[in-house]
Structure 1
Amino acid sequence: MPRRTPSAPDPEPAAPPAEQVPYGSELYWRVRRDVMDGRFPPGSPLLETALSSDYGVSRTPMREALGLLEHDGLLERAPRGFRVRSGTAEDVVEIYEARIALESEAAASAALRATELDLARLRHQHEVILAAGDEGSAARTASFRFHELLWQAAHNATITDLLVKLTARLRIYDSGPPSPFGGVDPLQEEHQLILGALHDHAPDRARDAARAHLRRSLEQRINTLVGDDDGPPP
């Protein structure tokens, strides 16, 4: 069995109201949420016929939803349909390294492209993190939202799309309850450095600050893989 590292639960975007999206899109969100929530553990087979019965839909929209989830990197082809992706500890580290490369560039881009509204949202989220303190689940959720807002502030749809997929794949590779939060003080300080670089329109500083922040997170993730009890921050 491949070893998976416990991690902070990444909040899911809310599915749009049913009346605003095609039926297949609503089904995609439902199945995606169930995959992300661990209803189907990594390696689990997902059979079109059985899932269609479980979700009360025909096979065509289910086939479309599973194809989209394969495109997202959450599923892979199996002899009789699909299965939830599984990976080794090395896979987790490789995906995290790709996230570091992309998110540090997103931070640099945000230093040049962020609007006043983007900056206001990031400042507000930083205050939310401060208010959450050491309350593990709340702090993780608030911190992950800060990262999402940073991606959006870069105004680069391709980078954002890739980061969404990478963090989703990290989520399904994780298992078990969230481990203890790795310490909120360093996280707050690192977010403050990123914010300062964005306000100063300093792309190199923003890139370096984001990379250092995520590198520390990766180190904690590696420590978890080798048996350390401290889990990685978002």
Structure 2
Amino acid sequence: MSWYLSPLRPLAVRQGERTIGELDELPLPPDAPHGVVGAGGAGPRQYLVLVGDETVLGAGATSMADGLPGILARRLAALRDGEVSWQVVGEPGASSLRVHHRLVPMLPAHSDVAVLVVGMHDLLARHSVAEWRGEMAAVLDLLARKAGRVVVCGCPPMGRAPLLRWPLSASLAADARRLDAVTRELCAQRDIGFVSLQEMDTTPEDFAADRLHPGDAGLRRRAEAVAVLL
């Protein structure tokens, strides 16, 4: 229950504003946000797109190959015994609003698989459940028209990020559970895959140097969970 956090919410908001204001931006990997893996397989070529915030761009990863795009492309190539062409459309700081109106329209007209990663900046901006529901419903409807299979990563486990202290960590964790409940419902209505990151085992070693974003270990853990739904 999160009722006991209500009187502490203003303190958590101020704490969050101060923490994020002092946060250094993680560098992005130098390799290109697109590629091809699995050449020579017997199956047909698959097209994979990832859309969302800086996590899909590899912030916190050593390279794109070690981030979500590379890991998921290799897993998809192995599952389908074919070549996978992958592309990332992301933007640092993107919220569901930005994904809806700017990033999803930039995606190709059709892909075999689309993976959505969003939520961190909606949480940090303290967007309401109603705002989240409206934007996510629109995003999922657009993605369903652009991809044969859609998988959504739930909100990141910011309540366990080493950078964040109580009560901010507890407040963000409670908000993430509320947003995830909405996302799970919307995905179920559309036969879209949903991966809860709140239920995933998470350790301090899963985080990047900024102690907020996922690092290589955390990205591998997330990619394995998403790959099950491909």
Query: Normalised by the shorter chain, which TM-score bucket?
Result: under 0.3
Q: Normalising by structure 2, report the TM-score.
A: 0.25
The structure richer in strand per residue is 2
Q: Normalising by structure 1, report the TM-score.
A: 0.25
The structure richer in helix per residue is 1
Q: More relative contact order in 1 or in 2 (CA 8 Å, sep 6+)?
A: 1
